[in-house]
Amino acid sequence: MTKEEKNQVIEKMSVKLTENPHFYLADVSALTVEDSNSLRGIFHEQGIRIEVVKNTLLKKAMEKTEKDYSEMYESLVGNTSIIFTETGNAPAKLIKKFRKDHPKPLLKAAFVEESVYIGDNQLDALAALKSKNELIAEVIGLLQSPAQNVVGALQSAGGTLAGIIKTLSEKEN
């Protein structure tokens, strides 16, 4: 690869790092071609992109962005694939599911919600993270709950009051 080609790869990768809010670094070496294609297909179905990248070029691309990825530099050894996603916890959930039948991919590091996660032992924590949409739905549910309680109380009280009045009016006759 010529120096110009390397510079183009670094530029493209730095743009991808800037445009994508979340990404994972994983080791997918030793997967068979069939397993690797299966994993790519699973990711593709969920709108997640995966590509193999050279560690030195990825490090230079990381250094070129405005964010500080220095904690992740130690993870850039051996075979590295980068996984780009819009939903922070989606790749972790898919990796956990895939690893029920396969030994890899192994999580090297992840950048999710402006936080860095290092090591495969962080996979459970990443899978348990709630996505932005899940958190918004939860907040809306919490905000609606008191209003629903008030409306329910008013409706049941109205029915109770009407029942009492009806009973009293029937007694007088």
Q: Locate tokens 């030994």: which residue? A: 103
Which residue did the predictor score with more confidence, 156 or 87?
87
Query: How much is the pLDDT for 84?
Result: 96
pLDDT tens per residue, range 24-78: 999 998 889 999 999 999 999 999 999 999 999 999 999 999 999 999 999 999 9
Tokens of 146: 């008191």
Tokens of 129: 């993270």
Distance CA 72, CA 106 (A): 15
Residue 35 host element (H or E) = helix 33-45
Looking at residues 113-142, what average pLDDT do you find? 85
Distance CA 166, CA 59 (A): 79
pLDDT tens per residue, range 81-115: 999 999 889 999 999 999 999 888 999 999 998 89
Which residue did the predictor score with more confidence, 130 or 69?
69
Q: Please say if the pLDDT value at position 22 is more than 60.
A: yes
Task: Give the single-character DSSP code of 29.
Answer: T
The CATH H-level (homologous superfamily) assignment of domain 3-129 is Ribosomal protein L10, N-terminal RNA-binding domain (3.30.70.1730)
Q: What share of the chain is helix, strand, coil (3-state, %, to 5)?
A: 60, 15, 25
Cis peptide before 105 (omega within 30 of 0): yes
